[in-house]
Amino acid sequence: MVRLCVNIDHIATLRQARGGIEPDPVVAAGICELAGCAGIVVHLREDRRHIQERDLYLLKEVIKTKLNLEMSINPSIVDVALDLKPDCATLVPERRRELTTEGGLDVLRKRKELAKVIERLRKAGIQVSLFIDAQIEQVKASQQVGAEIVELHTGRYANASAKEQRQELEKLRMAKERAREQGLRVSAGHGLNYQNVWAVARIEGIEELNIGHSIISRAVLVGLERAVKEMKEIISSARE
């Protein structure tokens, strides 16, 4: 069964809106775990717009599933990751002014820098995942630079029209197939919600889905535990 990992960045976004102490992403992580998620995902952005160092260290201490840290390869962020030692680091491209991560990493172009960072992270016992577009060349390059996991970017699929969605799903399937052939593990995420997740969750060989915004948005209205459970039910039903 595909595992659900919950990205809790936007709990911190809400906190930062007032610069105070609530809601606390550490409490949110506990609720997500009680609701049955398989991991907690957070992005320490260079501008610290949501998650803060304080959150990372507390999360590392309290969560019982696994901590996946999304991060750029900026040296100061790499230093935090090496000190924190999350279970997994997902390397993502980061632009200051973007609202959210816009595209996958260009592993082909950043081969050298990525290989160095990946080596350091892996030596520290951190699993490394690369967030990439569903393109065969990016999959191949990911394997060459030493990644263990690729997270396929589902944003294009999520934003596509109904007709284009089929093509985008096919690209995800092909990239997944190639990644598995290369010995990589495969996860997927970005833009997945209660309406569009089913078709992605059905793709055999994708082990994990990382979902944030749609779950936290629903949680505001129905509560976090229920929002996580409802997403888990859809995902589980996809491979029955």
Q: Is 83 left (phi over 0), alpha (psi -120 to 50) or beta?
A: alpha
Choose between 97 and 240: whose C-beta lies nearer to ligand PXP.
97
- Distance CA(122)–CA(147), nearest Å, equals 9
- Is residue 50 among the annotated active site residues? no
Choose between 100 and 195: whose C-beta lies nearer to ligand PXP.
100
CB 131 to ligand PXP: min, Å = 4
Annotated catalytic residue, options 43, 50, 94, 151: 43
- Is residue 61 among the annotated active site residues? no
Single residue of 4, 6, 7, 196 touching ligand PXP by CB under 6 A? 7
Q: Does 235 bind ligand PXP (CB under 6 A)?
A: no
Per-residue contact string for residues 31-60; x = within reach of ligand PXP by CB under 6 A: ------------x-----------------
Tokens 């409802």 locate to 230
Count of CB atoms within 10 A of residue 139's CB? 28
Restricted to residues 172-211, the positions that interact with ligand PXP (CB under 6 A) are 189-192, 210-211
The token duo for 223 is 């509560």
Tokens 């952005």 locate to 45
- Is residue 43 among the annotated active site residues? yes
Single residue of 79, 100, 198, 220 touching ligand PXP by CB under 6 A? 100
Contact indicator for 134, 174 with CB cutoff of 8 Å: yes
Nearest residue to 105 (alpha-carbon basis) of 116, 114, 117? 114
The token duo for 42 is 């957070």
Which residues are within 8 A (CB) of 84 and not within 5 positions of it... i.e. 6 or more apart? 56, 57, 60, 69
The token duo for 115 is 């290989």
Q: Does 143 bind ligand PXP (CB under 6 A)?
A: no
Interface residues toward ligand PXP, by CB under 6 A: 7, 9, 43, 70, 90, 92, 100-101, 131, 151, 189-192, 210-214
Question: Which positions are annotated as active-site residues?
Answer: 43, 70, 190
